[in-house]
Structure 1
């Protein structure tokens, strides 16, 4: 497992970290950029809406790449947040929806210890 703590100012480092690990984990070239986008969307949400500092952990599990973003903020998500696209006039609110389009699984846990968003990129999943 590889981990990094980050702030909003360090989001470019989050993208570089994700890309480097995706290459190390042998993610296909066609999916590396997509994984970087999904992680960046959730990492951005974490430091904009959750807490000033957040943590990204990445590892492989049963052939899939797992990325977990943890912040200390709490919230009450709507049923299956990001299940439908935001309206065309929306200026935000696309992060979870984008991640759901890219990843084979997106799981959100929130409680007194903060929020954890787990992204899974499976090599056998079909992506939009």
Structure 2
């Protein structure tokens, strides 16, 4: 498994998502094995994580095994994808999206992360 694609559980969430998002943006992919759109989206996100070669971390969450994470993020449908930068949620989307949309989403997240500093923190978006 690539170091920029990780599996996250409730016990490791703070360390693997919140703490790491201060160094690199983290894309949280909340899905389930039974979810058809998830089975399409997750491999695309994994490929993009490889293509972007460490510009962001893809953190995958199995919603059935980690219902608290899904609940905390108000995931009403799957897949739910949430962007974290510097410890806060900065963007999100639901359902399958085109690769063009995903690349724009990632490019914007990476650019925002690079511009944020302790003096000029990220704007948190509502869940």
Please indicate, yes or no, whether the TM-score normalized by the shorter chain is above 0.5: no
Larger helix proportion of the pair:
2
| Structure with more strand by fraction | 1
TM-score (norm 1): 0.32
Structure with greater contact order relative to length (CA < 8 Å, sep ≥ 6): 2
